[in-house]
Structure 1
Amino acid sequence: MEYLDFELPIKELEEQLEKCTVIGEESDVDVAETCKQIEKKIAEKKKEIYKNLTAWQRVQMSRHPSRPYTLDYIKALCGDSFLELHGDRNVRDDKAMVGGLGKINGQSYMIIGQQKGYNTKTRQYRNFGMANPEGYRKALRLMKSAEKFGVPVITLIDTPGAYPGLEAEERGQGEAIARNILEMTRLKVPIICVIIGEGASGGALGIGVGDKVLMLENTWYSVISPESCSSILWRSWEYKEQAADALKLTATDMKKMKLVDEIVKEPLGGAHRDRETTFDNVAKAITKAYGEFKKLSPTDLVAQRMDKYSEMGVFEE
């Protein structure tokens, strides 16, 4: 298990517990009481740290290398029922964007999401979760197929942003994202968006328009990353913590501003510390969300979705 800098006190206590257990196993000394005391300290320290995370610490949690990615969720939620579909029928198959048909609790869904890599080789293969225009066009093709056959759509958002390379701009990155936003507002099947990691910029918005937007507890959603914001405003990455606070990018902030609909709880310590509970919580949230929209007619569904987004950013004094 990898530990973030603010988790080091927990690491020290867990190492103490491990040493204490080894001493008990290798000698006749009774260490049961000592182990219990250390376990109690670990539990208290975890509550103290994880219940008071700053915005920047939640950004770090969302990027934890052991955190489950899109294909982990798909495998856990769909099992062997998932059929991956490839290509945008125009340029190529973007490996940073995955999608296909799968069943969750007996209901068929078109599931689309950004996929990051687990090591250097797979990170390059997946382009660090940054999709090219063909990735967004593949996503739109799959959504249109889902609409044709009346299948609800799930999007899993986890990206540091759309790929900003010259070749991506040449192939119409901005147009591809804008087209997706337009088409998702009027798609005639339910759309459930789940932010499972980083939700950065237009890269997230390209698959982020939905009837219900769910956000895991230790994720973030913003127009820009804290580091980039810091480099623009202060000409340095040193102020990323202040930038994270100012951007109001946490799940709590997003819910308060009514930009997301629901926060999905994570186990204490983050999704990576108890994957099964996280997968179960997400599956329940998706099933509940679909239950709210499955009986609506396509006309009512689109009208409700349009009203929801039209009301964002409107305030009365």
Structure 2
Amino acid sequence: MCKEKLASCMVLEYEVSKGRIAADDIVIFADGHDVLLQQPLASIMAAYSRWPDSPYLISGERNCWPWPHTDPSHGAWDLADWTSHGNVSWTINRWMKLTPYDFCRMIRADGPYPFPNIGLSMGPASKVIEVLRRNNKIVLEEDVNDQGAMWLVILRHALELNIQIDQHAEVFMNMLQYAPGELEREPCGRDWFQGSGARPPRNMVTNTTPGLLHFNGPSHEDGVWPTCYHTINEQFRKLGVGHRFFDVDHNMMVATDHICDYSYYNIHNFHAHPLSSNALHFLEDFYRRPVDPGLLAWRGEDSAVDAVRFGQEAELHASSPLLHKAINSAQ
């Protein structure tokens, strides 16, 4: 289970309660470092708006995960080990239960990316909150990870919550099982952005240009992700433009042009990135800043976030005294 999904749901719900985010504001919910933005938000919104009634739109992929595969159409990466689950089944409705081997057969494919992936999704804030709330409840109560839980949310509540899977990569594209020739230009050469408006390449299978790429699973292990990172960073990191995000925990804007600067270093591995002095100075100051007291009160003393513990922040980059100094400055 990813703690950030629990925490993000709580923070988003708090921001809506404070009126800083409207219930019908569109929220993009994405994984972190393995997701790359390659289209302007206006283009992403234009693609999303083609779905009627503002759905909760979740990305689709070729590989059925985390469930065991029973057919080649379920993808090439069958990483599930269900030996410990025995005869586990999950209730879908009052008449139906599914075993792990049933799930991959349940999705009706009307595009080349039929299987849901929780790494990318978007929709109205109120709908995102409701979907994540139900997802988190399943994770905590039904012994399944967040990806498996999202399958259960879809199968149980897709009609009620208008959940749609982006099976034609109109907004999102998961790069696991990418095949050469699938894109107009191969990722991520020097010609990745070219033509009018520096357009990234079309998906030749669906004739779409997805706005966000997710290098999920083993797709960030083959050297393509770092190449794409540098190519997209060069295109979008423009000093002086004022790229920034709003940190809702601390109620402030955070500029990214310096702290996201990797121009001094050619990243060659998804898992190992150095931290520049800009990032360390930012962290040292950042951890001194107080969290919104209203958010702390909203969170309470017994949050669902605390029910999931898969390690500590101090265990990351264990050999970096500079990072530890920045993190510990808050204590």
Give the TM-score, by structure 2 length.
0.25
Give the TM-score, by structure 1 length.
0.26
